[in-house]
Structures are given as structure tokens and as C-alpha cells.
Amino acid sequence: MIKEVKQKFDGYAEVYDEWFMKNENLFTSELRLFQKALGDIKDKRILSVGCGSGLFESYIDCSGVEGIEPSVDMGEIAKKRGVNIIKFGLIEDVILPEETYDIIYFNGSSSYIEDLVPVYEKCIKALKKGGKLILLDVPKESAFGFMYLLGKSLNTYDHEYLKGVMPALPYPLALASSGVWHSTEEKIGVLKDLGINDFAFYQTLIKNPMYTNEEPEEVTEGYKSGGYVAVIARKG
């Protein structure tokens, strides 16, 4: 008998998409960062690790995007949105062909993976020479990171310390709590140890969390201020 393992995002597919739709300006800021980081994707072979419901992919031409997603709830929606799901499972359990992809990206998924080393190593091997590993995440050191870690340790956002300073519709507590939340420096360190030395960085969500949904933000270079950051690592 196959043992069904409950994945972190099982049961949250609708909640997840709804949260972005209700935080429309925040979503637009993140989408801008996503599109900027991906750049020109025409004729590229692309893999989205932890593609979720394919929400971001539904705003690009995702006909050439392959996806890996452990949560069947999420992945089934991504499939309907046009992502070619090559595996319902964890990246840790997938064998990827070597020197195959132009771009492999993790949009928010590194934040749910404990040990990044074997996972990034596998992806770097699967990239063509000159290919890009793109990591988009809420950095642990950002205001959003602090907020999620505080919510996780208090097991609530409804606490006197947070009164009057929370966004109107914060990211679902269960999803903040199941996150592992890595810092950008930690990810850069892992990639450097794996032999990467060509980096570019972009960021958005510069405003404090309670103001981020007031209007969409622009993408700027760097990683030290944003609540959503893209690390672009080029394989030499």
C-alpha cells in the first residue's frame, strides 16, 4: 500500500491563491521581481521547483516551463494553468538530467526546504553551462522574515507586541510557521561553496509590511532592503 504523506501546502491551495489576490499590490510587486529575474524566457528550457499552483506562471508564457511540486492540491491547479508537471514530489526525491536546463528557479520554495546544499547542488548539475539558478524568497533577515518568525514562535499574530503594526491580511500563519526561512547570505554561502561566483541580485517590498499592499513597488538592484529578493546565480 502506498503511504500518503501530507505535504506542507496540502489543503492550502485556495487559501494561498486567495491571499495573493486579496493582496493584489503586493502580488504585483512580487510578479515584477519574478519577471525581471527570469528575463527573456523564449525558447529556454525551464524548471520551476515547488511551482505550487502555478499562480506566477499563469502571468508568463509557461508553455516551456516544467514543474516539480510535492502538494498534489497545488500541482493540479498548476497543471490546469499550463505548467508541465514532471513530478508530484519533493525536489530531494527527483533525479534530474545533467546539463539540461537554461533556467531553474525556486519561487518561494527554498523557504520550505531544510537542507539547501544537496538540492542546489542537484540543480546546478542540471543546468547547462551559462544557465541560471534563480532563488526568489522572503529573506529571514527582512521585516517579513522577522514577522513570520515571531508569528511562528508565538503561534499567533494576535499578540500585544504586534497590535497596530500588522498588515491587514497577513500571510496565513500555518504557512509562515511551516517555513524554514533562510537568510540571503546563507544561500549565497551555499552557492559559493558549490562553485558559483557570478551573482546578480534584485529586490522589492522595500516598505514595511503594514504598508506593502498600498501600491505596487518597483524592482531595484541589491538584496539588503527587500522583503522579497531574487538571487540570480550563473553557472560558469
Ligand X SMILES: C[S@@+](CC[C@H](N)C(=O)[O-])C[C@H]1O[C@@H](n2cnc3c(N)ncnc32)[C@H](O)[C@@H]1O
Which residues sit at the interface with ligand X, rule CB under 6 A? 7-9, 49-52, 55-56, 68-71, 74, 90-92, 107-109, 112-113
Of 165 and 180, CB closest to ligand X: 180
For residues 167-189, one letter each, b for 16 or more C-beta atoms within 10 angstroms of the residue's C-beta and e for the rest, the string is: beebbbbebbeebebbbbeebbe
Specify the 3-state DSSP secondary structure of 26: helix
14 sits in which H/E element: helix 13-22
Residue with the CB atom nearest ligand X in the bound state? 52
CB of 45 to ligand X, least distance (A): 18
Around Cβ 129, how many Cβ atoms within 10 Å?
8
Sorted by sequence, the CB contacts under 8 Å of residue 54 that are 6+ apart come out as 48, 62, 67, 77, 78, 79, 80, 81, 82, 83
3-state SS, residue 49? strand
Task: Please state the closest distance from residue 144 (CB atom) to ligand X, in A.
Answer: 12
- Residue (49 or 159) nearer to ligand X, CB: 49
Cα-Cα end-to-end distance for the chain? 45
Q: Least separation, in Å, of the C-beta of 89 and ligand X?
A: 7
CB-wise, 118 or 130, nearer to ligand X?
A: 118
Alpha-carbon gap, residue 176 to 82, rounded angstroms: 27
Nearer to ligand X, 15 or 197 (CB): 15
Least distance between ligand X and beta carbon 187 (Å): 15
Minimum CB–partner distance for residue 107 and ligand X (Å): 4
Residue (78 or 164) nearer to ligand X, CB: 78
Q: Number of H helices and number of E strands within the chain?
A: 7, 8
Nearer to ligand X, 94 or 194 (CB): 94
For the CB of residue 197, give the shortest distance to ligand X in the complex, in Å.
26
